[in-house]
Structures are given as C-alpha cells and as structure tokens.
Structure 1
C-alpha cells in the first residue's frame, strides 16, 4: 500500500465504547504518520473494520459489514480490507479460511500490526493520544483492559484477557489531552471499574482517580459498568460532595434469583444486591441507577423470572436494559443446556421492559416543572422548528434518555450547557424550554 498523504482509510467501529477508544487510539497514531481517514468507504484505498463479537447479533453485524467491504474490494472500489477487534480474537482461523479476500485479521491487542498493514508504525510517545469521535464534547476514558471475573455468560476474558488497570499517571495525561480537545463530559469505562487499581497498587483506586479527575475541572464525570461485588462505597460519597461528578452509576446486576446468580458465578446474592442499592441511595439520595438484566438464562423457570420482576419493581431502577440470554460457545455457560425457548426469552424481555417503562414514566414525571442543567448534544429539525437535543446528568450518552428542548429564542450550540424548564415527559424523553444558556 502507498504511504503518506495518499493513503486513505475508511474506519468502521462496531460494538461498545471500549471499541471506540481502541479505534480512536489507532486513528491518532495513523494520522500522525500522514494516513488520511474518510467518512465515505468509496473514497478510501482501504477499509478497516473494528468488530464486536460479544453476542450473536453483534457477530452477525460484523460479518455483514466484512462481506460488504469484500464486495467493494472485488468491484475495484477499494484495494485492501482489514478486520480487527473482538471477532478476530474468537474466530481468527475460521475467518481466515472463509474469507481469504480479507488482507489481514488482527486481534484486540495488535495495534502495532494494524498500523504496519496501513503502512506506518506504532509510536510509543503517542500512546496517550486519541483522535476523538463525534460528539467531541463527550468522550470515554478506558481505565482498564480485560476482565478477571468468570461470569458464566460472558466471553470477554477470552477476548480481552485478564484485568489490567491503566496507570493513574497515564490516565491523567490522557484525560488532559482530551480536555484540551474540548471534552467536557468524561465517562470512565472498563469491563469492571470496581477493581480499578487492585492489580497495580494492591488496593481499589477508583475513588482516588475520580478525585484527581474532578480536580482537573471537567464539567461532568460519569461512572459506567461497575461490578456490584466489593463496590467501593466511598465513591458514592465523592459523588455527593463533588458537583462535577454526575449522580449516576451503571451497576449491571444481571439477575435477582440466588440459584441463577450462583450459576452465573456473580459472587453476590439478590439480597446482597438489594442491600447494596439501599446503602448507595442512603449515602446519596440524588443518585440515579442504571442496571442490566438477562432473561432466559439456562434454568430460569417462570418462578425465577418473576423473582426478577419483583426485584425490579421493588428497587425501581431509573434506567434499565434487558437482553435475552444467548448461548455463546466461548462462554462457560455453553456447557449448560439452553432450555428456555427463544420465543419465551423475547417474551420475558418484553414483559420486564413493560414493567420498567411504567417505572421510568413515573420517575421522569417527577422532573416536570423543574429547572434542570442539560448538556446539548446536537440540533434537530422538529415539526415546529429547531430543537436542541441534550441530556441531564442522570443520562449517559447513547443508552439513556434524551431531553428535547425548544430554544425559545436563545442560542446554544452543541457541547454547551443550558438551563431548561421541563414541561412534559414520557418513559424515555423529557421535553422542555430553554431558560438560560450557560455556554
């Protein structure tokens, strides 16, 4: 492949925010060597796909995108097709055999090799640098790689390896670079933020990292993907005391039935989960909690499912996602009998989400008449003119509620904060009118 300014790459990132960070690191390295990235596949010499392999739907999407890229190569539109990421980690040999048209397959820890294929090399001095994606005011800080838990339904340890915290000094440097590029909301992510620091420093360091990031002056800091077992509760105290730490926690619980939690190897009971949530809310009454549940896990009878329904109804999560169990061949649970029919799994997901919809409607209705601080993400054309679309501190990007705002003659650009009076709501949106633009 030609090197220098002539090289153009179309980079497609699939899957989670952790993949997004990987792509941003790659792009920063490549751009520093003169590689140009384009948003149109037809304008590129090479297509690079960063795949997801976590669940069956994600695998199918990754395969479909690879096949589309191969078609462009066969038509002469592009010269090279490369595939990287999670799918390669799981199925490298099969992919190489079935898709010889692909010019290279790379795993999740092969960044130097990907760069070499693009005609450049990895530069250690740029390891903190990222070419941040849109929206540029909101970004992610991946504080650890991999996972050392052994949840039975999950293949992440096989894909990403054992848990490895990133050093605090490195994370602070990376955060400063992001801040200099205009990032105002920084979401801390890892497969498990709870264990941050234990492998490097011999103790949990999430709270110390959060305090130091808070001191840097970000407008919002957000915590995503906290494992419930052993969660450091001093973090909740910091959240209450620091105005720029969002009153928000993503705490995936997966189930409430003790037998299923044991089979999942979660290390925590339903009762312990309930007590943890009670203590979190006692320490910080303003906090909003998001969780994730799995329906149709092997052995889940109607009784276990109804136990999860009662748990969700009692706890009243502010945000909740539910997914049907998928029998993944690289997860420990694959040895179990997948005994819940797919149709029943989907029906249970629907039933749980209907329950959650009612809970969310009531919680959002409580905001009506209130004035909230909102981060504007983008502009949209509504039926009656321009709308500003943003989020409260209680809503993470991409997965949670939007707030649709009438500008009311005020000017507020994406990436700025506003005050807005909430006038209406439903389960997944707030509606309101700007009262002030902060900038």
Structure 2
C-alpha cells in the first residue's frame, strides 16, 4: 500500500438516489474503513480532502441532481477545497464517456460494479472477508438488505438494465450471514431490496426461490421485521404470499410497482401483464394476507397515453384503494425501447395527470388513516423530532410511508424499540397516538 504523507486522507461519500445506492455506499465505506481510511457519509463539514459521489441515473430529475452535485464539487476542487474527486454509480455507468469530456475535473469515473477499481485508485485493497459485514448509515435498528443486482425484465421505459446489468442473485447463505451480522449490531428490521424481488434464485437455484430465502431470514435471531420492496407483478409466485402470512417476522407489507392499468399502455410498456391479471393478483394477496399494506408506483405520461387510458388508470386506483402509492412522470431515456417513440405527452399534461392521480390517492390515504383511530399498533420508533417520538407500524417503510407521532410530553419511547400505540387522531399522511405498553 502506498505510504501516506503528511495528513491522512479523509473521505466524504455522498449518496444520491435509491436505497440500493445507499447499500452500495455502505459497502464502499466498509471497505475504506477496513483499509484504515477516515470516512464520513453525506457530511456537510468541509474537512474531507477526498469526495466520492455515488450517482443516480434513473430519470431526468435524478440525473440533473447528480450532475449538479458533480459540478458543485468540481468547483470546490478547482478552488483547492478538496484534493480528489471520484464519481461512481448509475449515472457514471451509463454516461461515463460523456462525463469525462464534459467534467474533466473529476479524477476518475466508475460504474456500478467497479468497486475494486475505485478502491485501487485510492491505493486500498478489496477485502473479501468484509463481504456481509457492511457498516450501515441508517439508524442502527433498521437496514436495507440487497438480495440481488440487476434486472432481466424488458420494460420499454426503464434504463435500469443498462446501468445495473442482468439479474444476479446473492446466495442464501451469504444473505443470512449478513442478516446475522446486522442483528448482532442491533438491527431489528431489514428491508429486502432488489430491482426485481420475485426473480430471486432463478440464476443460481434454477427456480424462483424467494420463499426459501424468506424462511431462512425469518429464522435469524433478533430480526423482528422483514419488509419486501419492489416485487414485479407479472408471473408473481403466489407462494410468497403464503410465507408472508405464515411467518410473523415478515411484515404484512408488499411494495409492488404496477406502473399502469390500461391494457393498451401496459402492452406498449412491455409489462407482460393485463389489468385483469393485476386485479386478480391483488385480490389474492389481500385474501391470503390479513391486514396487508400494499404500496405501488404508477407512471403517467407514457408516449401516446390518451385521456381515456389515463382515466382507466384513475378508475383502477379508485377501485383498488392502495394503502400507499407514488407517482412518477415519464422520462424519455436514451437506449430504452420507448426512446424510439415520440415523447408526445406535453410536460404540463404529465404534471397535471400526476397531480390528479395523487389527489385520488390522498383521499384514499386520508380515509384509511382515520379508520386506524381507536386501534392499537405495534410501532418501531425511529427518532425524536419537534416534541414527538416518531415511529412506524409494520405497514410503513422509512422515508416513503406514513409515520406515527407520539407526544413526548406525555410519553416516553426508546429509539430503536417497539411499543404498542393506540391511535387517537389522524391526518392525511400521519397518525397520532399514545403509548399503552
């Protein structure tokens, strides 16, 4: 290893984008600290002399945020505020050559699967013994667990396979080891993340093996909640529903991005499912899992989306009454199948449709929250903020879902612990209660 002179490097790792990027940053930080680097994450201090930006390249807004962040630190470097600037992640994977030309102040760009190369640039070794022992940047009682990388789906609008490659599952033994390591450090909730959860195991076990993985993780001592994110609806293995219902450690929660409900749009999107099949799947999920919380994501403004097709989507959302829903506006992405089609839905129409769809969901969410008043929920407390202890039920994932607010003047909650909370009031996105046990 190259000898350091004068002052040792201090590295600031900046993470942009989704929870999958956050896990990548945590693995990077673990490797750097294993090489005796002083590393901070998303620090606002100006004492780091090396900055690594882990970028997102998912949609236009995310790409612009990544570019703006790179430019900001490129200026800091030119002014002498930092010595080295490196860029990694999805944007770098997808646009490396363009970025090298446009922002040459960056010392090196790396793709999503080039962690060893990035470490080598810093004169650090990739330590295989640290796999499964990653440090976490979330509160110590919850963590994300990435069970696979990449995606084999052929959705016409999505650039993720261009940035993350094909689907690669991690072995069950490796994931269990990592979950055990997290549990030893006090993690009580793990959120399983992947581009596509239901594909898990096809590559290494020659079958969809998420149910077996779920049983193995539910057996890990200390893990009380397991939460499932990003399950593709087409050919969804119904056995997953049975495992969720059977194992109390697995939250009655499912994040299933549906994207649309008009059959003609779904066909153009290459989603490999119809509205009718989607409806049947949702009905099966709710039948097999009592008190299921179902989160979804919808995409508006896809090329040629007509008023009638959008109305079909609105009608579907009203009919299905999702517990949680996010809405994205279509982003015209180079090299995707949809890129060859004219992006003909005006930006203002996309925005209007997104707002209209969210108004429908807000009414549903508000009503569902008021239905919780008088009921008691097991709640995991994440933090204290503004006179409240803030927690979540098993129907709420961090950052994206509702929160439970308990007045700190009348209650005491230990951060990272569970408590029973009786709900007294509700609002559009939050519920308010009192600790009873």
Q: TM-score, normalised by structure 1?
A: 0.96
For 1:7 and 1:181, the matched residues in 2 are separated by: 27
Q: How does 1:148-163 map to 2 (within 5 A)?
A: 148-163=152-167
TM-aligned CA deviation for residue 127 of structure 1: 1.9
Cα root mean square deviation, aligned: 1.3
For 1:336 and 1:253, the matched residues in 2 are separated by: 21
For 1:91 and 1:238, the matched residues in 2 are separated by: 41
Equivalent in the alignment of 1:207: 211
1:82 has 2:80 as partner: no
TM-aligned CA deviation for residue 332 of structure 1: 1.5
TM-aligned CA deviation for residue 407 of structure 1: 3.6
1:131 has 2:135 as partner: yes
Report SS of the residue matched to 1:198. coil
Equivalent in the alignment of 2:22: 20
For 1:112 and 1:40, the matched residues in 2 are separated by: 27
TM-aligned CA deviation for residue 405 of structure 1: 0.9
Which stretch of the first structure deviates more once superposed, 121-130 or 79-88?
121-130
Residue deviations 1:268-296 (CA, integer Å, cap 9, x gap):
00110001001111111311100000011
Equivalent in the alignment of 1:95: 99
Q: How does 1:254-273 map to 2 (within 5 A)?
A: 254-273=259-278
Equivalent in the alignment of 1:418: 419
For 2:295 and 2:200, the matched residues in 1 are separated by: 20
Q: How does 1:16-415 map to 2 (within 5 A)?
A: 16-38=18-40, 39-217=43-221, 218-381=223-386, 386-407=387-408, 409-415=410-416
Alignment length, in residue pairs?
A: 432
Q: TM-score, normalised by structure 2?
A: 0.97
Report SS of the residue matched to 1:22. helix
For 1:234 and 1:72, the matched residues in 2 are separated by: 53
Question: Does structure 1 retain, via aligned residues, the 8 Å contact 2:370–2:425?
Answer: yes
For 2:408 and 2:219, the matched residues in 1 are separated by: 32
TM-aligned CA deviation for residue 328 of structure 1: 1.1
Question: Does structure 2 retain, via aligned residues, the 8 Å contact 1:247–1:286?
Answer: yes
For 2:38 and 2:414, the matched residues in 1 are separated by: 28
TM-aligned CA deviation for residue 107 of structure 1: 0.3
For 1:2 and 1:359, the matched residues in 2 are separated by: 61
TM-aligned CA deviation for residue 37 of structure 1: 1.1
Report SS of the residue matched to 2:203. helix
Question: Does structure 1 retain, via aligned residues, the 8 Å contact 2:411–2:434?
Answer: no
For 1:2 and 1:70, the matched residues in 2 are separated by: 26
For 1:3 and 1:236, the matched residues in 2 are separated by: 54
Question: Does structure 1 retain, via aligned residues, the 8 Å contact 2:26–2:137?
Answer: yes
TM-aligned CA deviation for residue 142 of structure 1: 0.5
Report SS of the residue matched to 1:47. strand
TM-aligned CA deviation for residue 427 of structure 1: 2.1
For 2:224 and 2:81, the matched residues in 1 are separated by: 44
Report SS of the residue matched to 2:152. coil
Report SS of the residue matched to 1:109. coil
Question: Does structure 2 retain, via aligned residues, the 8 Å contact 1:10–1:40?
Answer: no
The unaligned stretches of length 5 or more in structure 1 are none
For 2:289 and 2:235, the matched residues in 1 are separated by: 18
Residue deviations 1:107-144 (CA, integer Å, cap 9, x gap):
00000111112221101111222110121211111010
TM-aligned CA deviation for residue 408 of structure 1: 5.2
Residue deviations 1:189-229 (CA, integer Å, cap 9, x gap):
10000110011101111111111111113110000000001
For 1:407 and 1:421, the matched residues in 2 are separated by: 15
The unaligned stretches of length 5 or more in structure 2 are none
Question: Does structure 2 retain, via aligned residues, the 8 Å contact 1:406–1:434?
Answer: no
TM-aligned CA deviation for residue 434 of structure 1: 1.6
Report SS of the residue matched to 1:200. coil
TM-aligned CA deviation for residue 363 of structure 1: 0.8
Equivalent in the alignment of 2:436: 435
TM-aligned CA deviation for residue 397 of structure 1: 1.0
CA spacing shift, 1:121–1:408, aligned 2, 3 Å? same
